[in-house]
Structure 1
Amino acid sequence: MKNLDYGIIGNCRTAALISKEGSLDWLCLPDFDSPSVFTKLLDEENGGCFAFGVSEAYTITQTYLGNTNILTTRFEAPEGAFTVFDYMPRYRTNEEKHYMPPEIHRYIRVTRGAPKVRILYDPKINYAREAVKHDVFETYIKTYSVEDSEDKIYMYTSVDFNRVLSGEEFTLTDHQFFVLSYNQKLVTIDNNRVLLDYERTKVYWLNWINRSREYTQYSEMIKRSLLILKLMSYQNSGAMLAAVTTSLPESIGETRNWDYRFCWLRDASMSIDTLLFMKHKNTAARFIGFVKRILKSRDDVFQIMYGIRGERELTEEVLPHLAGYENSRPVRIGNAAYHQVQNDSLGYLLDVIYKYYLYFPGTLDEVEEIWEIVKNMVRMVLRVWQKADQGIWEFRTRELNFVFSKVMSWVAVDRASRIAELLNKDFYAEKWRAQADLIKKDVHEKGWNEEMHCFTQAYENADCDSSLLLMEFYGFIEASDERYVSTVKVIQENLFHNGLMYRYKAEDDFGKPSSAFTICTFWLVEALYVIGEREQAKEIFESLISYSNHVGLYSEDLDFETKRQLGNFPQAYSHLAFINTAVLFSEEKQLSKFIQP
C-alpha cells in the first residue's frame, strides 16, 4: 500500500516533495502555483524525478534537521554511508528583504566508507507535457523545453555532468552538491556557497521557530506544524496555501481530485487566531495585508478563494496525459470552485477584518476605507443569507439552505457589529446586532431537528454535518448549551467511524464519501473537549496523531480502514487544527523571569 511518505521543503516562494527514499517527485518553479518540473507524484512512469539510485543493501532513513525545514535522508550500507541535505535557501538580507530564490539545494555529505550511487536526473517541464533537451555548458547543465526554449531550468553540480545525465554508477569519495535553479546564477556556485546558504537557512528557521510558545507536551509536533504553515505562506503577497499539490485523490480510483495551490479565505480566521496565539504576529500581519488588498481591489465582488497573488480567475483544466496518483484520474489544474456561491465566505472575511481592527489597524484613511468595505459586505450578507448556496463543502451541482452557511452569516453580521462598537458607530452596532439576532433565531427555529435532537446539515434535510461542530468555536452557541452538547453527540454517533470522522454521509455530486476528512476529526476532539468529554477527546486525539506520516505531516484525508493518508498534501488546515487541539492537552512552558526568549 502506497502512502504519502514525503517530506516537504520550501522557502515561502515554492516547495518540493521528497520521498522517504530521497526522490524529488514534485517541484513547481518558480512559484507554488507554477507548472511542475518534476511530476512523478502524479505519474509514476512519465512524470520525471530527481533521485539517488542505490543497491538494495542500503537502508534509507529520513528526518528533519531539528526544528528547521531542512530535510535529511541518510543512505547506509556495509560499503559506506552518505546523507543528503535538502533545502530551499531562505534568510534575511536586511530588515525588509529575504533571499528566497526559486531553487533547491541537495548537499551530499559522505559519512563513512565509499558508498556507490547513481544520479537519476529526469526533469519533465510544464507538468510533463513537453519533451526536453539538455545542453552542457562549462558551469551548468541547461534543461529546456523543445517547444519553448525559454522554458528552462539550470543544474549546477560538483558531480561530473556526464554522470548526472547518463545515470551511471560511481563511488562517492567526497562531499558533493546539486543546485537546481529556475534562474541562471550570477555568483559562483561551489561547496563554499552551498554550505553558506545551508547555514544561513538553518539559522533562519531556528530563529523563526524560537519565537513560538513552548509546551510541556507535543512541543516538537507543534513546532513541526508551525514550520509547515510558515513554509506554505507566500512571502510576496502574504497568502496562505491550502496545500502545495494538485489532484491527490480523496479516495483512490475516484474523481475527487482538486488543485489546492490557492488561498481559501475560510481558513483565514483560524489561521490568524493560531498564528497570533503562537506569537507569530508578522506572518499573521502579512496575511491580513493580503486580505486587505483583495478587499480594496473590487469591493463589490467577494470570492471564497483567490490565487496566491490575489488572482480572481482560477480556470480549471484537465491534464489527460497524466495517469494520476495511483491512476486516479483526472489530474486538474485550476479550481472551478472560485465562482461558487458560498454564503459562509463573508463570515470568514469579516472575522479576519475584525482581527485587523483589533491587532493591525492602519492609518486613518485606511481604517476609513476598510469601514466602507465592511458596510458593503454587511449589505451583501443581509441580502443573501436567507438564500440557498453551495456550502462549505463546495457542492458543484446542488444548492441548499445549509445551516453552517447561516451560522457564518451570523458571524459576519456579529463581527461587523463588534467592529462598529470599536469605532464608536453605535447606530450601526445596534442595527447589525438586531439583524444578527434575527439570523440566530432563524437557525434555531429551522436548523434544529427536534426528533434528532441535533442541528442538521440543511433546512431541507435531516443529515448530519461535521461543520456544525464549529458553531461553538465561532461563538454562535455556548458549549454548555444543551442543543450544542446534543448536536456534538449526535454528529459523533452518525459520522464517527473507525476512529475518524466523515464530513457528511449523504451522497453528493460524486456519490457517497468514502474517506475521512482529517480536520473533521480534530473538530470533534475540540468539540468533545469544550463540552466536558475530555478523556474521550484525548483518546481520539492520541489515535489521530499516530496517523501522521514518518516526518509528522498531515494530508487532507485518511482511509477509514488502513489509515493511509489521502488528498492534497501537506494540508495547512489539518496542521492548524492539530495545533489548536494539541494546546488543549498541554501546558505552556514558563521561562524564568531572568531568561529572555
Structure 2
Amino acid sequence: MSGLDLGIVGNGTIAALINSRGDYQWSCLPRFDGEPVFNQLLGGGGTFSVWMEDLASRTQSYDHNTAILRTRLESRDGAIVEIVDFAPRFENQGRMFRPAALVRRFRVLAGTPRMRITLTPETDWGGRKLKPVRGVNHVRYVDEEISFRVTTDAPVSYILSGTSFILDREAAFILGADESLSDHPEVIARDWEERTRLYWKRWARSLAVPFEWQQAVIRAAITLKLCVYEETGGIVAALTTSVPEHAGSERNWDYRYCWIRDAYFTVTALNRLSGMGTLEHYMRWVRNIVAQSKGGHIQPVYGIGLEADLTEDFADQLPGYRGMGPVRRGNQAAEHVQHDVYGQVVLGVAQSFFDTRLMKRPGLTEFEQLEPVGERAFAVHDTPDAGIWEFRTIAHVHTSSAIMCWAACDRLAKIAAHLGLPARADYWRERAEIVHGTILEKAWNEEIGAFTAAFGGEDLDASVLLMAEIGFMAADDPRYVSTVQVINRDLREGDHVYRYKVTDDFGKPKTAFTACTFWLVDALYRIGETEEARRVFEALLAARNHLGLLSEDVDTDTGELWGNFPQTYCMVGIINSAALLSRPWSQAM
C-alpha cells in the first residue's frame, strides 16, 4: 500500500487520518489548521498506534453510508481484532453535537490476540512529546495551547509503557476535552457510535444521488462534508499540509485553509446533491469576507476562522512525507493577487438567491453587498494576476481569471433581474458583455485552435475547460470543441490530465492534476464524446485508494497518489462527473 492509503474520520470540528494498520497518521487540535498532535504522516513520532503480534492481514472499510471507519487485523494464528474509529456527530437537544473528540473501540472477533496500543502525541510541530499525566482510567495531556484527555477502560499502564498484552475483552478510548466523562467509556462510545451512524445514514439518504456510481458519489459527499469547519462555514482544500505533488518536488503546500475557489466547487457539488446545509454555512463565511474587503482586494485564501494572515514558514522539526521536506505551515497564496476569486465569491452564493428550500434566503441587502465584488471584477478583468495555479513569480492576464470576472458580472445581472431590479440587471449585463468580448478577442489563438492560458499567449491550460460549465460559451461552439480536442491531445497522458506543461517556479510538473482530468471528462461529455468520457471517468475511479478517496495528483506512470489529502477538488469531480454521465433513474428499470 502507498503512503496515502488512509481513511478519514471527522465531524466538522476535527478530523483524523488513519492507516490500514489502525495507526493515527495525522490529526490537528483544536481544529483542522491547528497543532498536529498526531504527525507520523510527515515523519513525526506523534501517533495513536496499534501493533498486533504475527499480523497476517489487514482490511479497512467504512460502515455503509457513514464516516465510521472499521479496521480489521488478523494474525497468523487466526486471532481477529476489529477497530472502530469515528468522531461523534449527531443531534442532541436540538443542536448538533460535534465536540473536538475522537473515539476508538477495539473488539475481539476471534482468538486471543496479543496487542500493543501506544499513545505518543506531540506538540511544537514535532518538536517535543506531550507529557502524560495519568489517572486511574485516563491520561491527561496539558500544554500551553493544547489540552485533552484520553479516557479508556484498557490498562493505562500498558498504554503508557508500550507494553504488549492479551486483549481479551472490548476496549474503548475517548479522546476529548480535559474533563471527566459522565459514564463508563464503553457505554458512551457505543451510544455515540450508534447515534453517529444514524446521523450519517440519514444525511446520505437526503442526497439526490445519480443512478450510476451511487457509492462513489456518497463517499465523495461525506468526505467533502468532513472538510467543512462547521463553526464558521469555512471549507478547507484538504486536511493535510506538505504532501508533495511528486517525489522530491518541494511543491509542498499547506492546504488546511479555505480557498474561495475550492470552496465554490465544493458548495456547487453538494448543492447538486441537495446538500443545502453546506451552502447556508458557507454563505455566512463569504458574507464576512465581503464585509472585510469593503469593495477592495479579496485574498484567494483565508483561515477557516477568517484569518487573513497566513504567513508561510517551515516546521523544521518534521522531516516531511517520506522524508521529502520542507514541511510548510501557512500559505503564501494569501498574499497573491488572483482575480478569479471575485467570480467565485459571486458564483458560490448565487444559487442561494434562487433556491426556495433555504431557511433564510438572501435579498436586496446581500445583493448590494455583492455589487462591490462585481465592480472589482470588472476593474481587473484584463490585468495580470498569479492565476488559478498561483504562480509565485509569473504574472499574466490569465484567461481563466478573466472568465471568472465575467461570471461575477453575469450572475449579478441574473440576481438583479430575479430581485426585480431592471436597471441593475442592465448595468451588470452590459459589463458582462464587455468582459465577454475582451476574452473572445484576446484569449483565442487561431493558429493553435484553442483558448490559451493567457491573453495573447500560446500555452495551454486545462482550467479553460470550465468555460462551458459556467455558461461563458455553449459547448457546441466550434471554438470550445476545438479547445477541448487540443487539450485532450496535448495535456493528457494516458487517462490523466496535466494543469499545464510549461516550466513554472519549480520546474515542469511531473504529475497530473486529478481535478483537471474530471474537467476533461465533463468537457468530453458536453461536446458529445460520451463513451470516451465514461471510460476516462471509470479510470479515475480506479485510481482512488482502497476507501474511495483521492489526493491532489497522480503519477501517470505508476498510478500512485501524491499531493495533499483528501483533495476537495477531486471529490467534487466525482460528484459532478457522475451527475453528468449517469443514466437517469427513469431508465434504471
Structure-2-length-normalised TM-score: 0.96
The 1:447/1:342 distance shift into structure 2, 3 A limit, reads same
Q: Partner of 2:41 in structure 1?
A: 41
Q: Partner of 2:320 in structure 1?
A: 324
Q: Partner of 2:241 in structure 1?
A: 246
Q: Partner of 1:595 in structure 2?
A: none
Deviation at 1:579, TM superposition (A): 0.7
Is 1:175 the counterpart of 2:174 in the alignment? no
Equivalent pair of 1:40/1:48 in contact (CA under 8 Å): yes
The 1:24/1:378 distance shift into structure 2, 3 A limit, reads same
- Unaligned stretches of 5+ in structure 1? 593-597
Q: Partner of 1:213 in structure 2?
A: 208
SS at structure 1 position matched to 2:219 = helix
The 1:186/1:169 distance shift into structure 2, 3 A limit, reads closer
The 1:362/1:437 distance shift into structure 2, 3 A limit, reads farther
Partners of 2:146 and 2:235 lie apart in 1 by 27
Q: Which amino acid aligns with 1:140?
A: H
Q: Deviations over 1:288-314 (max 9, x none)?
A: 222122223342332212211222221
Equivalent pair of 2:61/2:69 in contact (CA under 8 Å): yes
The 1:47/1:57 distance shift into structure 2, 3 A limit, reads closer
SS at structure 2 position matched to 1:359 = coil
Q: Partner of 2:122 in structure 1?
A: 124
Equivalent pair of 1:241/1:263 in contact (CA under 8 Å): yes
Equivalent pair of 1:158/1:176 in contact (CA under 8 Å): yes
Partners of 2:370 and 2:160 lie apart in 1 by 58
SS at structure 2 position matched to 1:135 = strand
Partners of 1:152 and 1:129 lie apart in 2 by 17
Deviation at 1:186, TM superposition (A): 4.4
1:495-574 map, 5 Å:
495-574=491-570
Deviation at 1:591, TM superposition (A): 13
Partners of 2:159 and 2:31 lie apart in 1 by 25
Partners of 2:360 and 2:204 lie apart in 1 by 30
Q: Deviations over 1:4-23 (max 9, x none)?
A: 00000001101000001111
Equivalent pair of 1:346/1:409 in contact (CA under 8 Å): yes
Q: Partner of 2:185 in structure 1?
A: 190
Equivalent pair of 1:64/1:72 in contact (CA under 8 Å): yes
- Unaligned stretches of 5+ in structure 2? none
Deviation at 1:53, TM superposition (A): 0.7
Is 1:75 the counterpart of 2:70 in the alignment? no
What root-mean-square deviation, in Å, do the aligned CA atoms of Structure 1 and Structure 2 show? Answer: 1.9
Partners of 2:293 and 2:264 lie apart in 1 by 21
SS at structure 2 position matched to 1:373 = helix
Q: Deviations over 1:175-208 (max 9, x none)?
A: 1111122432342342111111111111111111
Q: Partner of 2:307 in structure 1?
A: 311
Deviation at 1:64, TM superposition (A): 0.6
Q: Partner of 1:491 in structure 2?
A: 487
Partners of 2:421 and 2:334 lie apart in 1 by 34
SS at structure 1 position matched to 2:73 = strand
Deviation at 1:50, TM superposition (A): 1.1
Q: Deviations over 1:20-49 (max 9, x none)?
A: 111111011121111111100001xx3321
Deviation at 1:460, TM superposition (A): 4.1
Q: Deviations over 1:293-344 (max 9, x none)?
A: 2223342332212211222221212111110001221101111101211111
Is 1:16 the counterpart of 2:8 in the alignment? no
Aligned counterpart in structure 1 of residue 52 of structure 2, from 47, 54, 74: 54
Equivalent pair of 1:37/1:125 in contact (CA under 8 Å): yes
SS at structure 1 position matched to 2:304 = coil
Partners of 2:139 and 2:491 lie apart in 1 by 54
480-489 vs 258-267, greater mean Cα deviation: 258-267
Q: Which amino acid aligns with 1:225?
A: A
Is 1:114 the counterpart of 2:127 in the alignment? no
Q: Partner of 1:583 in structure 2?
A: 579
Equivalent pair of 1:105/1:180 in contact (CA under 8 Å): yes
Q: Which amino acid aligns with 1:229?
A: L
Q: Deviations over 1:61-104 (max 9, x none)?
A: 11111111000001112241110000111110133x11111121
SS at structure 2 position matched to 1:391 = coil
1:457-472 map, 5 Å:
457-472=453-468
SS at structure 2 position matched to 1:327 = coil
The 1:30/1:521 distance shift into structure 2, 3 A limit, reads same
Partners of 2:54 and 2:479 lie apart in 1 by 59
Give the aligned length.
Answer: 585
Equivalent pair of 1:254/1:329 in contact (CA under 8 Å): no
Deviation at 1:428, TM superposition (A): 2.3
Is 1:297 the counterpart of 2:284 in the alignment? no
Q: Which amino acid aligns with 2:164?
A: E
Partners of 2:553 and 2:104 lie apart in 1 by 30
